[in-house]
Amino acid sequence: MKSQNSAIAAIVQSEQEQVLSEWLAESNLGSSKGSEQGRTADAKKVLKGFLEGILADAEPERFEDKAWDALRQVLSELSAARAAQGASAGETSVFVLSMKKPFFSRLQGSFQNDVNALVGAIWWTSTLVDKMAQFTINTYQRTREEIINRQQQELLELSTPVIKLWEGVLAVPMIGTLDSNRTQLVMETLLQRIVDTGSELAIIDITGVPTVDTLVAQHLLKTVTAIRLMGAECIISGIRPQIAQTIVHLGIDLQGITTKATLADALSLALKTTGYVVTKPRA
């Protein structure tokens, strides 16, 4: 084993508690982001993976090597957990970078009579800790992107609910801008609900859609076509005067598609189409 590896391994094995204490004090990582006990446990896991790589005589420049697998796994879990807790990437990287100080002070004592060896050991340690910090930042960013994508997907699903208005009648109130991904989700959800409920008619309400252009109209036409292929019919409601003028101005052909100004009108037509008659009881 190389001299710097032996010296660093000896420090971890013989002075772990002191290193941990100085590390946590130096990191000063937001005490509001988890308990002291939890941060100590995280630091111990990092030190364990750190020691495994050193004992395997691994090189910090090759941080992707198998010898560092355990350390990378611990850092991944740490980054993911802190991202979920709301800690920033900077806070997480500072936590790792703060390892340097307790090791540097001890390496000075180990190589006080050999300046070249001291410089080499400090450079070796600094390179490894920098690699660790960069790895945590990359992992943090991936985790945050996954969280954001998942939240966007959940919001998209919440914004396009399929509601059963009456026996055999479904409705999809559209709110916001329609794009390809959202239209695909609406189509898949609506078609599945038609199969599950055996509904004969679906109402797509676009009252909450701010503008209708050629692309939006194409998305609606594709959805209507898919609904008809499933053996059901479709009514588009929420055709406001501005939207009607825009559709005419753009030359969009909605012939053969039933449209209504309001969701109430569409529901009334749907009930008649399916054979229901709604009457007021006499006083």
Q: Which of 154, 178, 197 is where one domain is finished? A: 154
| Domain count for the chain | 2
Contact between 107 and 6 (Cβ < 8 Å): no
Residues 8 and 146 in one domain: yes
Residue 247 sits in a domain of what CATH number? 3.30.750.24
Put the strands of the sheet holding 163-166 in their side by side order: 163-166, 169-175, 201-208, 233-237, 258-260
Q: For every one of its 283 residues, what pLDDT tens digit does the chain have, with 9 covering 90 and above?
A: 566 778 888 888 888 888 888 888 887 644 434 567 777 888 889 989 988 888 888 888 888 889 899 999 999 888 888 777 777 778 888 888 888 888 888 888 878 778 888 888 889 889 999 999 998 888 888 887 887 887 777 666 666 788 888 888 999 988 877 777 777 778 888 899 999 999 999 999 988 888 778 887 888 888 888 999 988 999 999 988 888 888 888 887 777 888 999 999 999 999 888 888 777 787 6
* CA distances, 165 to each of 186, 197, 201, 268 (Å): 17, 12, 10, 11
Residues 133 and 176 in one domain: no
Q: Domain span at residue 196?
A: 163-273
Residues 187 and 73 in one domain: no
